Chains A and B, each alone.
Chain A
Amino acid sequence: MKETINFFSFSDPNVQFVVIGTMILGATAAMVGCFSFLRKRALVGDAIAHSILPGVCLAFIISGDKNPIYLIIGAFITGWISLLLIDGISRTTKLKNDASIGIILSVFFGIGILLLTSIQHSGNAAQAGLDKYLFGKAASLTQDDIFTFSTIGIFLITLTLLFYKEFKLISFNPDYAKTVGLPVKFLEFMLATITVLAVAVGIQAVGVVLMAALLITPASGARFWTNRLGIMIAIATFFGALSGFLGSYISYIAPAMPTGPWVVMCLSLLTVGSIWFAPKRGMLSKVRTQKDNKRKILIENVLKLFYHLGEKNDDFKKERNINELQEGRDLGISELKKGLSLLKKKNWLRKKDGNWVISTSGLEEAKRVIRLHRLWEMYLNQRLKLAPDHVHNDAEAIEHIITPELEKQLEKELNFPQKDPHESIIPYTES
């Protein structure tokens, strides 16, 4: 508890640096990652991250200094070269994009490790900490780092806002962008530059290996919540920043816990949560839809049962006991009882002396379903030329999903037929 209070009071400047730093990194990477995600270049971010390692090492060898600006410049250069090579390989050889990503990623990373090892054995004392680029060094961010990150972060956000509408178009339909005369090459260059920069900065928090997560997971999670690009970017950025915050909090209260990996853990949880719980696109919502569908089918089938029985003895409002109902349709007793009680709640059925009676509004609803069933049979028979004995099963399912608009269209197209292919009367409502 004491740690929590300490953390949230931000009295420790180190806490401030770590929290602000990881939040900026998480947010910018997430924002930029939305475009990588939408352009289906999720893995390219991973390749850039790995290709940055040799750049960092070379920058250190040349400058002999761990100044973040030098290292970022080095990172930026090799990151960019890797991008050009990936595109070049897929364009000029028969290798496909995924293969060239794999090749460049491993070759560059290999060179990076080679350089890193030789630096570590060079006896240069300043090299200590360079290996942090592999797994990140979020917990030891300094004031200088924060200054560099914020500058680059603001730069990235500004560019993204400035080119927002163009980035949207080249992510959706780059060919069209060319035909309206936009400088697509330049825009793609800008977008790639932003990505490389975001990765170059981001690996300082989570390291080369986990960087792809910082770029792609927030976008993947955010996509589940919205159908608007602007909102998606806002949510992704929020996820990135929130994970940065939570990651540094967890590693503060549990000092044995590393910051970077916890940032990624939090991001993953947010994304998995989104996949499950997001409205409409989430898995739970799909499960719920399935359940609703099942319930609708059950209710409508029981109503139809009342209609069919009524049709048989020409008395729709007759009281029916449960045995009679069960014989009328192939339904399990528990299913039937569930349907009956649901219908009672909707006041489409009422109970009288332990028997069931359909209400006026229930009868209307039953007529609607029967009508749709028979209209659809008619449609299959006339338009798809199906024999009358082949149309029933299809109609059993379709009757539940036809909308009132489609119903009108069906009636018009078939010219309000009186009977279905089995010579049963199609019930219309008087109005």
Chain B
Amino acid sequence: MISIETHNLTVSYNRRPVLWNIDFKLPTGQIIGIIGPNGSGKTTLLKAMMGLVKSSSGYVKIFDQPLEKVRDRISYVPQRESVDWDFPASVMDIVLMGRYRKNNLMKRLSKADRDLAAEALEKVNMLEYSDRQISQLSGGQQQRVFIARSLAQGADLYIMDEPFVGVDAATEEAILGLLSDMKKEGKTVIVVHHDLQTAKAYFDWMVLLNTRLVAAGPKEEIFNETLLQEAYGGKLNVLSKVGDLIKEKDFPVREKR
């Protein structure tokens, strides 16, 4: 079974391509790490998968279908730093957002929604913080709230952007425990991660990225000196020069047909 397929995906940011022809198929039921150095396009890849940025070419299929058809089966955990945590809301308010749907637009959330949110909070050991104002949380707790919000969606595929950045040891342990529980339930989890030290222990599968796809496969096949060197050894010279040219001349990445 394929969870996500990207086909020749090229994504530009400010007209410069930041991902070139990414082409891979990822399995279901695995914990998959997307690994690469800073600026290698990991977050952009996630955003392209979730339809948050437009691709210049290529497509993404999830569970063999276009994104819009399977929205309810996938869930996204953005980077913790992408929001303002001084927003006036409690932990429960945020987790309940995981229950917002197109079909409950303009409606109040039900009792069942609240129960699911509480269950999700319990899974990340944060239930006793339900009424806490979110700005009073530590970084690790904020991360767990984001994960709880995502769990409350009850999806089959979870896409997390750098959940291990700047968290305490307790949170790291909680997230790892959660990942393995999710795997047991047959869920697929895709995690953007930049730390090579821990990558091998955390993931079953890996995607090595550095503006282009370096390799994708089970970690035994991927995690070796040669490929890591290739991923972390800087960008391809010609490729980034072509990228600069495309931006400078405002050229399209594909010829219009």
Contact = CB atoms under 8 A, between A and B. Distances in A.
B88 A183 contact: no
A183 B78 contact: no
A172 interface: yes
Interface stretch (B4-12, B90-98, B180-188, B225-233): B90-98
Contact of B88 (A162, A178, A179, A223): A223
A168 B74 CA distance: 22
Interface stretch (B29-37, B100-108, B122-130, B211-219): B100-108
B75 interface: yes
A181 B76 contact: no
B52 interface: yes
A111 interface: no
B100 A182 contact: yes
B135 interface: yes
A416 interface: no
A173 B78 contact: yes
Interface in A36-54: 38, 40
Nearest to B159: A179
A165 interface: yes
A180 B87 contact: no
A183 B102 CA distance: 7
Contact of B52 (A38, A163, A178, A229): A178
B51 A179 contact: yes
Interface in A272-318: none
A181 B133 CA distance: 26
Contact of B133 (A165, A169, A172, A227): A227
Contact of A172 (B87, B105, B135): B87
Contacts of B101: 180-182
A162 B52 contact: no
Contact of B105 (A38, A171, A182, A226): A182
B46 to A, nearest CB: 10
Nearest to B68: A181
B5 to A, nearest CB: 18
A228 B90 CA distance: 7
Nearest to A40: B84
B237 interface: no
Contacts of A173: 78, 82-83, 97
Interface string B64-81: 000010011011101000
A176 B87 contact: no
A165 B89 CA distance: 11
A232 interface: yes
B199 interface: no
A175 interface: yes
B100 A180 contact: yes
Nearest to A179: B76
Interface residues of A, number: 26
B165 interface: no
B81 to A, nearest CB: 12
Given A173-B82, A176-B97, A182-B105, A232 B88 contact: yes
B51 A182 contact: no
B98 A228 contact: no
B40 interface: no
A268 B217 CA distance: 61
B71 A226 contact: no
Contact of B78 (A165, A169, A175, A181): A175
Chain A CB within 10 A, most for which of B50, B68, B97:
B97
B109 interface: yes
B55 interface: no
A341 B109 CA distance: 56
Given A176-B76, A178-B51, A179-B76, A166 B89 contact: no
Contacts of A229: 87-89, 93
Contacts of A223: 88
A103 interface: no
A168 B101 CA distance: 14
Contacts of B135: 227
Nearest to A159: B106
A177 interface: yes
A175 B88 contact: no
B3 interface: no
A178 B52 CA distance: 7
A185 B221 CA distance: 43
Chain B CB within 10 A, most for which of A38, A176, A228, A232:
A176
Contacts of B44: none
Given A165-B109, A172-B83, A176-B78, A182 B102 contact: yes
Contacts of A178: 50-52
A93 to B, nearest CB: 12
Nearest to B52: A175
Contacts of B84: 40, 172
A223 B74 CA distance: 34
Chain A CB within 10 A, most for which of B75, B102, B105:
B105
Nearest to B96: A165
Contacts of B72: 181
B100 A166 contact: yes
Interface in A175-207: 175-183
Nearest to A178: B52
B210 interface: no
B52 A179 contact: yes
Contacts of B56: none
21 contacts: A38-B88, A40-B84, A165-B108, A168-B89, A168-B93, A172-B83, A173-B97, A175-B78, A176-B78, A177-B100, A178-B50, A179-B50, A180-B100, A181-B72, A181-B102, A183-B102, A223-B88, A227-B89, A228-B90, A229-B88, A229-B89
Q: Which 6 A-B pairs have the closest CB atoms?
A: A227-B133, A181-B71, A179-B76, A162-B106, A229-B88, A179-B50
Given A183-B105, A226-B88, 10 more contacts: A162-B106, A166-B100, A166-B106, A176-B76, A179-B50, A179-B74, A179-B75, A181-B102, A227-B90, A228-B88
